[in-house]
Amino acid sequence: MRTQEQTLEEILNLASNHFKVSREEISPDDDFFKKLGINSLQALELLTRLENHFSVELPDYEIQGVTDFRTLAERIQSRL
């Protein structure tokens, strides 16, 4: 079973690879819209990739308003 820190690290790695941003440039508490320079459609792409990677389904009501990697990791971790 993954720890929350492992989940967070996997999310950061996936986001950096997907959006071609150096992993060192992003941190857990960053707002991913601002840090990655993405729009809502691109955020949806990221969420879909994360759902597939972790084999979870994140209901809209759980991710509404989530903009930082740490909170996203918490929501995913609660579904594992």
pLDDT digits over 16-60, tens only?
999 999 999 999 999 989 999 999 899 889 999 999 999 999 988
CA nearest neighbour of 46 among 17, 75, 9, 79: 17
| Structure-model confidence comparison of residues 60 and 69, the more confident one | 69
Alpha helices in the chain (DSSP H): 4-18, 32-36, 40-54, 60-63, 69-77
What pTM does this model have?
0.90
- In this structure, what DSSP letter does residue 28 have? T
Statement: residue 72 has pLDDT above 90: yes
* Structural domains for the chain: 4-77 (1.10.1200.10)
Q: From the DSSP assignment, how many helices (H) and strands (E) are in the chain?
A: 5, 0
Q: Would you state the structure tokens that stand for residue 30, as one six-digit string?
A: 């960053």
At residue 64, the pLDDT reads: 86
| Structure-model confidence comparison of residues 1 and 11, the more confident one | 11
